[in-house]
Amino acid sequence: MPDHADLIAALRGAGLVGPGEVVFQPLAGGVSCDVWKVDGPQGPVVVKRPLEKLRVMADWHAPVERSASEVRWLQLARDVEPGMVPEVLANFPALNAFALRFLPGCPVWKDELSAGHVDQAFAAEVGRRIARVHARTAGSAEVQAMFPDPAMFRALRVDPFLRHVARNNAAVSAPLNTLADRLDAARIALVHGDVSPKNILIGGQGPVFLDAECAVYGDPAFDLAFCTTHLLLKAVWLDRADLPAAAAAMVAAYAAQINWEASQALLARAGELTAALLLARIEGKSPAPYLTDPLHRQAVRRQAIALLLAPRAIDDLVAHWERTPE
């Protein structure tokens, strides 16, 4: 275990740990961050500090200052809907670390989905809440100024998920590079950047969003596409019809909140991005770890490539998604 003296001093200064010994209990996750649970006089807290090198790929470096944008995202989302994020209890920018209130007894949505518990209303609420953050922040020069640096989103999302796949797959490199250029240029609303079932807790008042370290002022279609991709991949893995149905419920609830642009334009972009992200989860630097069956991989690859060459709007894409290999 590294020496946490600096972090302990900061936590003590914030009144989050007592004078005695401080135990750092690692939490699940931890691909890109050290995340611990620490007990203190105000109850358990989560302490998070990004890693310089991501654990999935030895050569995948990312700027460590991304804790600052995660904190800013959490605070903005809390203004939109307090129950949708854990409270930020302390921010230690000099240490690239921060502390959140630990939410006890809240399962991770991914675990529930993997166990076959698919709640359509919950999926719809995921779409609605994410769209509300987009609606609140769209066209805001002030919010854009709070997220001036797209470098983290590029390093963690655009490059590994889109440009890397484009380099290795000539058949779809043109549409992928076009999508990557467009994502780089977009300045539409505040994007979370990692809306995945593993980063959503099932809270007492609905979905709680974690892990906004890729947050960027960019294209909100990315968040909808990213989460939809996860649900469609799990539909293939588990061969469950209720997972595309959950994706459809999420997309419909999201679409109902779009008030900053024409819905069809956003749903069209989200469809293209979903195709790209589906392929990236097979061929990119961050493959879906559970999709190991070659038939499953082929079913996703075949549909993703067809969709990149002949895009569909995301609602249409979800409605036509095939769970089983041909």
Binding site for ligand ADP (CB under 6 A): 27-33, 35, 46, 48, 86, 100-103, 106, 108, 198-199, 210-211
| Long-range contacts of 29-32, Cβ-Cβ distance < 8 Å, separation of 24 or more | 29/198, 29/211, 30/55, 31/55, 31/56, 32/62, 32/156, 32/213
Choose among ligand ADP, Mg ion, none what residue 100 binds, the Cβ cut-off being 5 to 8 Å by kind.
ligand ADP
Residues that bind Mg ion (CB under 5 A): 29, 199, 211
Torsion sign, CA atoms 282, 285, 291, 295: positive
Residues 6 or more apart in contact with residue 110 via CB below 8 angstroms: 196, 197, 198, 200, 230
Q: Which residues of 41-60 are buried (b: 16+ CB within 10 A; e: fewer)?
A: eeeebbbbbbeeebeeeeeb
Choose among ligand ADP, Mg ion, none what residue 33 binds, the Cβ cut-off being 5 to 8 Å by kind.
ligand ADP
What is d(CA 69, CA 63) in angstroms, rounded to the nearest whole number? 11
Structural Rg of the chain based on CA atoms: 19
> And the tokens for 41?
């006089």
Q: Which is nearer to ligand ADP, 33 or 179 (CB)?
A: 33
Q: Shortest distance, CB of residue 104 to ligand ADP, whole angstroms?
A: 7
Q: Which is nearer to ligand ADP, 50 or 175 (CB)?
A: 50
Q: Which is nearer to ligand ADP, 106 or 238 (CB)?
A: 106
Choose among Mg ion, ligand ADP, none what residue 46 binds, the Cβ cut-off being 5 to 8 Å by kind.
ligand ADP
Contact between 19 and 12 (Cβ < 8 Å): yes
Q: Shortest distance, CB of residue 23 to ligand ADP, whole angstroms?
A: 16
Q: Shortest distance, CB of residue 148 to ligand ADP, whole angstroms?
A: 22
What is d(CA 320, CA 40) in angstroms, rounded to the nearest whole number? 50
Closest to 164 measured CA to CA, from 150, 176, 175, 181: 176
Q: Shortest distance, CB of residue 70 to ligand ADP, whole angstroms?
A: 8
Residues 6 or more apart in contact with residue 17 via CB below 8 angstroms: 8, 11, 38, 39, 40, 41
Q: Shortest distance, CB of residue 145 to ligand ADP, whole angstroms?
A: 25
| Residue number, nearest CB to Mg ion | 211
Q: Which is nearer to ligand ADP, 89 or 305 (CB)?
A: 89
| Residue number, nearest CB to ligand ADP | 29
Q: Which is nearer to Mg ion, 210 or 299 (CB)?
A: 210
Choose among Mg ion, ligand ADP, none what residue 35 binds, the Cβ cut-off being 5 to 8 Å by kind.
ligand ADP
Choose among Mg ion, ligand ADP, none what residue 300 binds, the Cβ cut-off being 5 to 8 Å by kind.
none
Q: Which is nearer to ligand ADP, 211 or 272 (CB)?
A: 211
Q: Which is nearer to ligand ADP, 102 or 321 (CB)?
A: 102
What are the angstrom distances between the C-alpha of 254 and each of 101, 127, 292? 27, 4, 31
What is d(CA 103, CA 182) in angstroms, rounded to the nearest whole number? 37
Choose among ligand ADP, Mg ion, none what residue 161 binds, the Cβ cut-off being 5 to 8 Å by kind.
none
Q: Shortest distance, CB of residue 68 to ligand ADP, whole angstroms?
A: 15
What is d(CA 36, CA 30) in angstroms, rounded to the nearest whole number? 9
